Amino acid sequence: MRHVAKENKALDTKPLSEPVALILMSLATEAKHGYALLKDVEKLSEERVKLSTGTLYGAIRRLLDDGWIERFAQQDTSRDKQAYRLTARGRAQLDTEIARLRHLVRMATTRLRLKGA
């Protein structure tokens, strides 16, 4: 785990696209099916980001390939209702992205304050 976190630190220069960040955020709390994921992404972005089904599954495929999310086996899972959840690597990537955004906000706030003073 420590090893993974350390290795992921090397990726902190790579910003995530907004849809990908929102998908990871949505899965941070619990495993979700495709439809629930779409609804949650809309909710998280305050209806600003509305993914098409094709875009969502393109992103899901890439995230599965990268090992950031994984299929989550459920007892009542049918083939057309597959749940996904965040992996440790995906969580580390999300943490890294949040740290990057925090830094960005902090720097922007500082600069704006300086300009206002």
Partner 1 sequence: MRISDFYRGLLRLYPGDFHQQFSEEMLSVFEQRVVERIANRGSVSIAFVLAEFTGIAKGACTMWMTKILPIRRNTSQPRTAQSCPATPAPEPLTIAEATRQHNAAIRNMVAAIAGHDFPKARQHSYEEIRLKNLLKELQSKIPAGHSETLAN
Where on the chain is the footprint of partner 1 (CB under 8 A)?
3-4, 7-8, 10-11, 13-17, 33-35, 38, 50-58, 60-62, 65-67, 79-82, 89
Alpha-carbon span 117 to 115, nearest angstrom: 6
For residue 101, how many other CB atoms are within 10 A of its CB?
A: 13
Q: Does residue 89 contact residue 8 with C-beta atoms inside 8 Å?
A: yes
- Minimum distance, C-beta of residue 24 to partner 1, in the bound complex (Å): 13
- The DSSP line for 105-117 is HHHHHHHHHHHH-
Q: Measured from the CB atom, is 46 or 65 closer to partner 1?
A: 65
Collapsing DSSP to helix, strand or coil, 14 comes out as coil
Nearest distance, CB of residue 8 and partner 1, angstroms:
5
Nearer to partner 1, 29 or 77 (CB): 77
Shorter beta-carbon distance to partner 1: residue 18 or 30: 18
